[in-house]
Amino acid sequence: MKLELDNVRDILLDFEKNLQYNEYISVKELDSRAKTLNITKSDYLYTIDKLAEDSIIDVIYGTGKLKDHIFYVKSITSKGHKFLDNIRKEDVWSKTKSIAKKLGTVSLSHIDKIAEGVITTLITKTISGEL
């Protein structure tokens, strides 16, 4: 499977808006969220799995025979909030994706570094009066 970058951002923005403190989003609700975001269930769950592997979101997995299946999304981690803040603005996101495409990378850690670089450049230009 391929990790779609727009799915990563869309899902995180959706979680930020819809996850409540001390509440979980169940796998049934995840199916509904996938439809709302126009993402296939398979791509949606794959993206969630990759976000969990990178500690961007906190999930609760099943037990027994279902131990590898996601049952609930608990929260966005502090690492996840930082990542989302780096990719939140559309202009930063667009530039980040463009650079990632040129480099041929879609790893979440690389996306985060690229976004940080884009933001650092914007900060420098703003401070120097270029923007």
pTM above 0.85?
Answer: yes
In the predicted model, is pLDDT for residue 68 greater than 60? no
Predicted pLDDT of residue 4: 93
Residue 54 DSSP SS3 = coil
Residue 131 DSSP SS3 = coil
**Percentage of the chain with pLDDT > 70?**
93
Position of tokens 């401070």?
127
Nearby residues of 112 by Cβ (< 8 Å), 6 or more positions away: 82, 83, 86, 87
Q: How far is it, in rounded angstroms, from Cα 94 to Cα 6?
A: 10
Mean pLDDT of the chain: 89
